[in-house]
Structure 1
Amino acid sequence: MRIGDGGRRFGGVRQIAVLRGGGLGDLMFAMPAIDALAAAYPDARVTLLGTPAAAELLVGRTGSVHAFEELPVSPGVRDSGMDAPSLEDFDHRLRGRFDLAVQLHGGGRNSNPFLLRLGARHTVGTATEDAEVLERWVRYVYYQHEVLRGLEVVALAGAEPVTLDPRLTVSEDERQAVRSRLGVAGTLVAMHPGATDPRRRWSPDRFATVASARIDAGDDVVLVGDHSDRAAADAIVAAVGTDRASRLHDLVGTLPLRELPAVLAAADVMVGDDSGPRHLAVAVGTRTVGVFWFGNVINAGPMDRGRHRVLMAFVTRCPVCGVDVTQVGWTADRCEHDPSYVDEVTPEQVLTEVEDLLRTR
């Protein structure tokens, strides 16, 4: 089965480059396409062109990526990075190395010219109306699930899906080590109270209500996130209160990325916004309850409902200025306001889904 029209496999492919920078969620969305490439070209070596975080997260957790190359700073591909390789050094080391180069990094306006610098024999990817096209390409249309977009791209190289979910390996020993370190004997609920776009963030008081209810039911709760989530975590800790503090484990800003998969895999269910850690929880096999703006469900929602539940806020206009917020993507105007688009989802709705997932696991 292929997604889209597809194409024949290329012959003589021994070295494959996959371009996918961006954040944690972007990487997770690309993994099913990378798995498909590895299955279609079992004798090829797959090199991921990405950020240092990709190597930190994936080494030892997937058999589909065999090497990593850190991206240089280049507009629209990687906007910043301390100690990143220079573009000249990157080109010098990698030009002419690859038989197939795959662009899974946006609409191609910047990423296609970047990919073509590699001088690969064959190229596949997406293209907006104003982007330079590759050897085989498909039109980039914003409203498409990112996993299916990636699978449609690699289908151009003859690769068929082997999974629709990202898959990363976490051992049972790792899971148990996390639970032992936290002192958890029963149910563990993970929470990530953040998202890159503030409009996708459920407010901390709502997370606190869910955390308090689960602790009162006898569960432990672990908070995860990076330094940008510190203010939200502090608000949750304060609202949950000292009487529940022994069952609330705050790891926000202190947990190395390398250890995040094990913490999420140790949880029985994860509650989060449309964010990288929630997508990572899917990859390690943890059930999730996600709070989404409805438009993002099209691009980023989980595929099944037996393990993953989606609660949607149907906001179509900015609550501050009234501008239409359904027109999204690289051509859409964005107002200056950052209210939560998802706060109309209630804690009671989330708790109902958490309880059902725990009951039916």
Structure 2
Amino acid sequence: MEAILRSDDGPFADVLKIAVLRGGGLGDLLFALPAIDALSWAYPEAEIVLLGTPLAAALLDGRPGPVARVETLPPARGVHGPDEADDAPAVGRFLQRMSSERFDLACQMHGGGRYSNPFLLGVQARHTVGARTPDAAQLERNLPYVYYQHEMVRWRETAALAGAIAGPEEPHVTVSPRERLAGLEVIGDCRDGLAVLHPGATDPRRRWPAERFVELAVRLAADGMRVIVVGDGADAAIANGVAAEAGRRAGGAVASVAGRLTLPELAGVLSVADVFVGNDSGPRHLAQAVGAPTVAVYWVGNLINGGPLTRALHRVHLSWTTRCPVCGRDVTQVGWTAERCAHDDSFVTDVEVDAVYEDAAALASLMATTARLRGK
């Protein structure tokens, strides 16, 4: 911890342009937003440029917030995404272009630095900060990368290396009136409340069984709620299956819009939801960021790294699984220190429908009561 406890580790002088490296998925991006906000508070005159993915550009371009623009990362191993192959010529061109911008500060907010620290050094900023594992390249100021730490706290602590110590604890995404109207158009009539369900997750081990989402959708529909199921990519088939079976049992109150929404349209739908229910996934994190109450199913290890920090509007249901259901390997030894086993069986099958439904119904009722008190 020496790097952040030294008395001279305050803000850098004359910082007018900042690069932030953050690849990965939607949740990864959202976890970094509070740290980026902190940088904007510490350096209010600086232009902040996010070195991110096309997903980041789709969400943040033109949206109010601290990020002035997104520069889309080239295919680079361990930087763009976890399985991305290197495109050495594209990486070279990108780093040459970034170095010509003469950044005053570059912040690595993308993992332990084995690949991301050398990439960040290629930007040739005057100052560099970031997390690092023992085998990663040194930056000017370094935070030890310890796997079991909440990602939002990790990147806030990284921003603190540059003297950025103030700002929000959790991410916030401003939704435009146009996006909210688009969301209302997508969902149709929901006068008795809207529940949005997301049964997918990038990692199959994080997925609550689809039949549990079916049962939940049927119960919420029986309460008079409109139930919309969302998903994209590989999640779309799961979402459509859940909606089809729940719709067969509950009628027209359940529908799927999986695979039909852009990221801004998804933000609009989530912003008008009375409750979101899903796995530990990007849409859950986005739902919270746009102001929707959430109920989520988590494996306990993922809760440590990526769960909501507050409970007034955000509830979690935990599986305490510690060994692979197939081979029995200890699944708590994860991250950069250990390879996972090859099995994709769910870690969260022991979470029951009753408990998830009770929280979802309670939050939806709270939102309905709040709306009545406000005269909406």
Shorter-chain TM range is over 0.9
In structure 2, C-alpha distance between the alignment counterparts of 1:287 and 1:84, rounded to whole Å: 43
Instruction: Note the C-alpha offset of 1:55.
Output: 1.0
Residue 277 of structure 1: aligned partner:
283
- Aligned residues: percent identity? 52
In structure 1, C-alpha distance between the alignment counterparts of 2:174 and 2:85, rounded to whole Å: 28
Residue 144 of structure 1: aligned partner:
149
Residue 251 of structure 1: aligned partner:
257
The farther-off stretch of 232-241 and 267-276 is 232-241
SS across alignment from 2:70: strand
TM-score between both structures, scaled by the size of structure 1: 0.95
SS across alignment from 1:72: coil
The farther-off stretch of 140-149 and 181-190 is 181-190
- Residues 205-246 of structure 1, C-alpha deviations (whole Å, 9 max, x = no match): 000111010111100111111120123123212321335342
Instruction: Note the C-alpha offset of 1:182.
Output: 2.4
In structure 2, C-alpha distance between the alignment counterparts of 1:225 and 1:20, rounded to whole Å: 23
- Residues 237-271 of structure 1, C-alpha deviations (whole Å, 9 max, x = no match): 23213353422221111111221111111111100
Instruction: Note the C-alpha offset of 1:83.
Output: 11
In structure 1, C-alpha distance between the alignment counterparts of 2:87 and 2:214, rounded to whole Å: 39
Instruction: Note the C-alpha offset of 1:277.
Output: 0.4
Q: Is residue 125 of structure 2 the alignment partner of residue 123 of structure 1?
A: no
Change in CA separation of 1:245 and 1:266 when aligned onto 2, cut-off 3 Å: same
SS across alignment from 1:241: helix
Change in CA separation of 1:359 and 1:77 when aligned onto 2, cut-off 3 Å: same
Residue 71 of structure 1: aligned partner:
73
SS across alignment from 2:328: coil
In structure 2, C-alpha distance between the alignment counterparts of 1:220 and 1:82, rounded to whole Å: 45
Instruction: Note the C-alpha offset of 1:4.
Output: 5.9
Task: Show structure 2 runs of 5+ residues with no match.
Answer: 368-376
SS across alignment from 2:339: coil
- Residues 42-89 of structure 1, C-alpha deviations (whole Å, 9 max, x = no match): 100000001111011112333200011111111111254999981122
Q: Is residue 299 of structure 2 the alignment partner of residue 293 of structure 1?
A: yes
Map 1:314-333 onto structure 2 (within 5 A): 314-333=320-339
Of residues 207, 210, 213, the one that matches 1:204 is: 210
In structure 2, C-alpha distance between the alignment counterparts of 1:75 and 1:268, rounded to whole Å: 40
Q: Tell whether the 8 Å contact from 2:52 to 2:73 is kept in structure 1 after alignment.
A: yes
* Aligned length in residues: 359
Change in CA separation of 1:360 and 1:237 when aligned onto 2, cut-off 3 Å: closer
Change in CA separation of 1:119 and 1:180 when aligned onto 2, cut-off 3 Å: closer
In structure 2, C-alpha distance between the alignment counterparts of 1:191 and 1:127, rounded to whole Å: 36
In structure 1, C-alpha distance between the alignment counterparts of 2:51 and 2:65, rounded to whole Å: 16
Of residues 92, 95, 101, the one that matches 1:91 is: 95
Q: Is residue 157 of structure 2 the alignment partner of residue 155 of structure 1?
A: no
Q: Is residue 213 of structure 2 the alignment partner of residue 213 of structure 1?
A: no
SS across alignment from 2:255: strand
Change in CA separation of 1:177 and 1:81 when aligned onto 2, cut-off 3 Å: farther
Q: Tell whether the 8 Å contact from 1:72 to 1:85 is kept in structure 2 after alignment.
A: no
Q: Tell whether the 8 Å contact from 1:55 to 1:68 is kept in structure 2 after alignment.
A: yes
In structure 2, C-alpha distance between the alignment counterparts of 1:173 and 1:214, rounded to whole Å: 28
In structure 1, C-alpha distance between the alignment counterparts of 2:20 and 2:330, rounded to whole Å: 35
SS across alignment from 1:239: helix
The farther-off stretch of 216-225 and 19-28 is 216-225
Of residues 339, 349, 360, the one that matches 1:343 is: 349
Q: Tell whether the 8 Å contact from 2:40 to 2:66 is kept in structure 1 after alignment.
A: yes
TM-score between both structures, scaled by the size of structure 2: 0.91
The farther-off stretch of 17-26 and 230-239 is 230-239
Q: Tell whether the 8 Å contact from 2:208 to 2:279 is kept in structure 1 after alignment.
A: yes
In structure 1, C-alpha distance between the alignment counterparts of 2:144 and 2:188, rounded to whole Å: 50
